[in-house]
Structure 1
């Protein structure tokens, strides 16, 4: 694996400093690409990540799922093949913010790439499907990320050239150190694939009434088997997963759209605002009002930075 040059990391950090001028998340010219920034350390914080690749260029994050810890920093990236609620810890400061780029997975493109990879030669060792993995960042993936960030400073370049570089990043991940595990997971075959289908259903319909027995039937499993395989993938039960998905979505509605707790609770499927408040406090450790106040910067969503504001040194 080619080493990452310090100049590459420094350049990525310099670009991200300008692409993500605000804490939280910043949109880009491409729907699949968002930038992340934190100017302060954050203790264990519940989060919900969609299937995505997260490449940290400065600072460090740790993800916690069950008893497993996933480090993603300037030397390691995080990839998720399914949507997962877990918790993260962030190392950052005002003088050295945590800076990262998050790229959502386009499953159609990923499937096409996997067909091409398999067509060009069978893989030596079939991977065991993984829902989440932390993997050393190769020089080739770092170079592609740097090119993506450079392209993102020009909206025209981003729209025309960006999709090809995003596709290259998908490819680098699929053939990387954990590529076999990611391909196995993203192929959505076997028991893992059945659970992945249920997770997609939950994320599409979390505001509706979701019955575990019905989800198990859709997955072609008995309820006990569904519970067992579901916990293997997510480290939690179907009921707890549905609940955490609703609570995460409600938090974002309050932070980003300014909804009240009562409005947000109704929007995500709760009939009782008081029940929502009790479950929210039990899950996040504080009331909706306290959580929104303290996490507003961390989960805010800023528009893409106007081109006129870029002053990049060459």
Structure 2
């Protein structure tokens, strides 16, 4: 029996190694230069040939698998490290800080990320309701877990569809449902179910997150939001932080500052104009909060980012 188990384990290890090699090769073929690409709706590919500085971004509910290299995500006081052996699951839109740690020209960082629509997660939950495990989980909207052979295999088949656009239209929804099913059956299944389950607070928090993303430049009226959701202000604050690791005010501030940074870089706005566009009335207050988040004042930060982009382009 032990020999049979050893042989099965060896075959599984060989299958996973082959799948990781194929996934890395297919991503590298699909995206030949450093950057990101969305070849199919909801499917994002990334390639980086050098370790990167920390990047501030907003990520939607999704699952990310690394084929080569490693990356870390910072949220509040927590650090989430993932690599080819671990995937990252995010269940609510989150402003986060991420950094590619391992990458080189010989072995670039290669990753795939699949968006998870709450309506589709809900549909798969209903179909698989009889077999889903019933354990409870933390409501924090992000975590890492080991990649198993079935999940990795599904991602390989998903990326293979890039060679067959006609098949992709028919098969991508099916493979996406399989991936969601694998996630629901795994150790993060309860976390994913929080995204759509009624009776819990996570759907309410997702509503607040959506509202903040749509109206981040408007004054935050937490009392109004709490009343609309039938919650007390203290309860809303508590559950929001449990899910996102931030208070609603911190969440809004992060969105505002990231958008201001984008405006200065892509639309060449000065700091005062960008501050006003994202909802700040006091430029000096904006400068202080910007430096607190990004480490340097707005003008120096934008100059540094532009110089870094020029250096990367000249490599």
**TM-score grouping bracket, smaller chain normalisation:** 0.7 to 0.9
CA–CA distance in 2 between the matches of 1:287 and 1:183?
A: 41
Aligned 1:42-81 pairs, distance under 5 A: 42-81=52-91
Given the alignment of the two structures, is residue 110 of structure 1 paired with residue 118 of structure 2, yes or no? no
1:298–1:58 CA distance, 2 compared to 1 (3 A)? farther
Out of 102-111 and 227-236, give the one that drifted further: 227-236
Aligned 1:91-240 pairs, distance under 5 A: 91=101, 92-118=103-129, 120-121=130-131, 123-187=133-197, 189-240=199-250
What's the secondary structure of 1:190's corresponding residue?
coil
CA–CA distance in 2 between the matches of 1:84 and 1:55?
A: 18
What's the secondary structure of 2:143's corresponding residue?
strand
What's the secondary structure of 1:186's corresponding residue?
coil
What's the secondary structure of 2:201's corresponding residue?
helix
1:159–1:249 CA distance, 2 compared to 1 (3 A)? farther
Match of 1:285 in 2: 295
CA–CA distance in 2 between the matches of 1:11 and 1:201?
A: 40
1:96–1:111 CA distance, 2 compared to 1 (3 A)? same
Match of 1:260 in 2: 269
TM-score, structure 2 as length reference: 0.83
- Runs ≥4 residues deviating over 6 A: 296-299
2:251 to 241, 258, 262: 241
> Is there any run of 5+ residues in structure 1 with no aligned partner, and where?
300-314
Instruction: With a CA cutoff of 8 Å and minimum separation of 6, indicate the structure with the bigger relative contact order.
Output: 1
Match of 2:18 in 1: 7
CA–CA distance in 1 between the matches of 2:84 and 2:188?
A: 17
1:253–1:14 CA distance, 2 compared to 1 (3 A)? farther
User: Whose Rg is larger?
Assistant: 2
CA–CA distance in 1 between the matches of 2:17 and 2:303?
A: 37
Contact 1:58-1:97 within 8 A present in 2 as well: yes
Equivalent residue pairs, number: 296
CA–CA distance in 2 between the matches of 1:190 and 1:231?
A: 15
CA–CA distance in 2 between the matches of 1:293 and 1:13?
A: 34
CA–CA distance in 2 between the matches of 1:227 and 1:114?
A: 28
